[in-house]
Amino acid sequence: MPTRYIVHANDPTTNQRTTKVFEAENAGDAEKMGQRLGLSVLAVEVDPASLGTTIPTPSIPPVSSRQLGPESQVWVGTPSQWVNTKWYALCLLVIPAFILSLMFPPFGYASLILVLTIPVALWKYLVIRSTKYSLTTQRLRLESGVLTKSLDEVELYRVKDTQLHQTVIDRTLGIGSVLILSSDETMPHINLAKVPDPVGLREKIRTTVEQVRLARGVREIDITENRI
């Protein structure tokens, strides 16, 4: 059964805050309805009248470009080449394998297989080298691709949580992975894999997200619906 939702948004055509009411199955669908109208959705809440209860309306200050300020770089980095350690190690075995094949011809096939790891390792190197993560004061960008470049990004006000993953070896090398959970349906999970100083990066993301939310007047609203 559809529920009535109140969508608080900013109208880009008038640069003023507006409120729309939609009937939808969930808050995500209501947000999409607002976006289809060209609105910049700030928050979504259940219409108290549709539930028969009183829910306080969140106070959302007007959004202005001066509050956010010009977009600037906060952090930029790439995954560590330690990800490809096993491939580089196989390449180092090529020389002794070649010498062994000269001494014992039956081992020639084994050395040939090891030689084939060189172009694979080179490709792995280029993949890591062409991957770049960047954090700005408004969004998180992911660039990747050796031959064909692709760019994905998520607005920071959509970031819901971050998680840190480090193995024992990662801690020794000073690297780790930061997993970002967002409300963006196209990018709900973003993994910044094997980056240096992951603890510091996670703190930078948390601080910047809070600043963006405060400037935009955006707050996360958890809505629980009881359906029969």
- Could you read off the pLDDT tens digit of each residue along the chain, which spans 228 residues? 677 878 777 777 776 778 888 888 777 787 788 777 777 777 777 776 665 544 444 444 444 444 566 888 899 999 999 888 888 887 777 766 666 666 666 655 556 666 677 888 899 899 999 999 999 999 999 999 999 989 999 999 889 899 999 999 999 999 999 999 998 888 899 999 999 999 999 999 999 999 888 887 766 554 444 443
* Range(s) of the domain holding residue 27: 3-50
Euclidean distance between CA atoms 44 and 8, whole angstroms: 6
Same domain flag for 46 and 115: no
Tell me, yes or no, whether 32 lies in a domain.
yes
- Helix/strand/coil for 26: coil
Single-letter residue type at 181: L
Same domain flag for 173 and 216: yes
- Helix/strand/coil for 77: strand
Same domain flag for 214 and 138: yes
Contact criterion met (CB below 8 Å) for 36 and 60: no
Tell me, yes or no, whether 137 lies in a domain.
yes
Q: List the structure tokens of 105.
A: 């011809």
Euclidean distance between CA atoms 71 and 138, whole angstroms: 6
Tell me, yes or no, whether 148 lies in a domain.
yes
Same domain flag for 11 and 98: no
Euclidean distance between CA atoms 161 and 144, whole angstroms: 23
Euclidean distance between CA atoms 63 and 16, whole angstroms: 8
Same domain flag for 88 and 168: no
Report the DSSP beta bridge partners of residue 3: 24
Tell me, yes or no, whether 57 lies in a domain.
no
Euclidean distance between CA atoms 146 and 24, whole angstroms: 42
Question: Considering its fold, how many domains does the chain have in total?
Answer: 3
